[in-house]
Amino acid sequence: MTSPEVAPEIVRFYTETIDEASRLTTAADGVLEMVRTQELLRRHLPAPPARILDVGGGPGAHARWLVRDGYDVHLVDPVRRHIEQARATGATVELGDARRLTADDDSFDVILLLGPLYHLPERGDREKALAEARRVLKPGGLLAAAGINRYASLFEHTAFAHLHREPMQRSISGILASQVHDGRRAFTTAYFHSGEQLRQEVSAAGFTDAEVFGVEGPAWSLLAAAERNTGRSFRDTDLFQSALTAARLAEPYPELLAASSHLLAVGRRPA
Ligand SMILES: C[S@@+](CC[C@H](N)C(=O)[O-])C[C@H]1O[C@@H](n2cnc3c(N)ncnc32)[C@H](O)[C@@H]1O
């Protein structure tokens, strides 16, 4: 299946600008995202074997461990390079778009949308992706959908120690106000959710028991700042363990969602 509607700058970004395959294994905040995504998903997934559709699965960072855990994983992504990289994970793969899945109705136990919602700035497109997820989920099945936090860029560019410079200051202030990044510099086209907005979008799409978790928690940017300002790796440090502990301790306090980098919503298709 071709993906004519995916914005060309998104495909270009993942094909030429960055190698998504190393994002969750190099920088300490990427490793924190991986560890927390894994623990939050494992808390909600049905026991293996179950069928998981990983929509926007990229090069397969999550597909790899899910296959190892015993799940039957099918990965869909609009970037050819990702599809080629993801073949090595043991998942089956398909070029495609979250808004138009080829899967049959009621055919998967779990749908992961860990990427598409934050690359679809129009609400109508996010609604289509969520409606497709609901269509292909079996009744009672689990949806896990990621968002990037509305305020993540404020923390990230402070960690880079360049937020006070123009035009960075102007650009971040625009993203905070509009919740949209136009994709012209640095990151590609993106939409940034507040925790409550993400929960509401998932509920409005007909999922029940919607809950939102802070993935990296409130201390990821301390880790990013330490790493980026010293040039050292902080993956195996007490600061990493403290940031991970902070993410876990923060879970009962929804106001702290605002400080996490990624948000993870879970919900169920009504049985
Ligand atoms: C930051 S990567 C995340 C990859 C992986 N899911 C993870 O969590 O590590 C975002 C992914 O969303 C994919 N994506 C962007 N727009 C999409 C769309 N309309 N439908 C499906 N996937 C999309 C991108 O190609 C990319 O692989």
Neighbouring C-beta atoms of residue 180, cutoff 10 Å: 14
Give the pLDDT of residue 232. Answer: 97
The CA-based angle 204-206-210, given to 5 degrees, is: 75
Lowest-pLDDT choice from 1-5, 17-21, 83-87, 111-115: 1-5
CA atoms within 13 A on the CB side of 33: 23
* 164/171 Cα distance (integer angstroms): 11
| CA nearest neighbour of 68 among 45, 91, 39, 43 | 91
- Ligand 1 atom showing the smallest separation from residue 58 Cα: 27
Q: Hey, what CATH topology would domain 8-268 get?
A: Rossmann fold (3.40.50)
Q: Ligand 1: does its nearest atom lie under 6 Å from the Cβ of 60?
A: no
CB distance 217 to 247 below 8 Å: yes
Q: pLDDT band for position 248 (50/70/90)?
A: very high
> Looking only at Cα atoms, what is the longest distance across the chain?
52
Give the pLDDT of residue 3. Answer: 44
pLDDT tens column, 165-211: 998 999 999 999 999 998 877 788 899 999 999 999 999 999 999 99
Average pLDDT over residues 72-95: 98
Lowest-pLDDT choice from 94-108, 136-150, 177-191: 177-191
* pTM over 0.95, yes/no: yes
Give the pLDDT of residue 149. Answer: 97
C-alpha of residue 77 to centroid of ligand 1, in Å: 6
Give the pLDDT of residue 182. Answer: 85
2: pLDDT strictly greater than 70: no
Q: Where are the domains of the chain?
A: 8-268
* 58/72 Cα distance (integer angstroms): 17
Q: Ligand 1: does its nearest atom lie under 6 Å from the Cβ of 79?
A: yes
Give the pLDDT of residue 1. Answer: 42
Dihedral, CA atoms, 185, 188, 190, 195, nearest 10 degrees? -90
C-alpha of residue 207 to centroid of ligand 1, in Å: 21
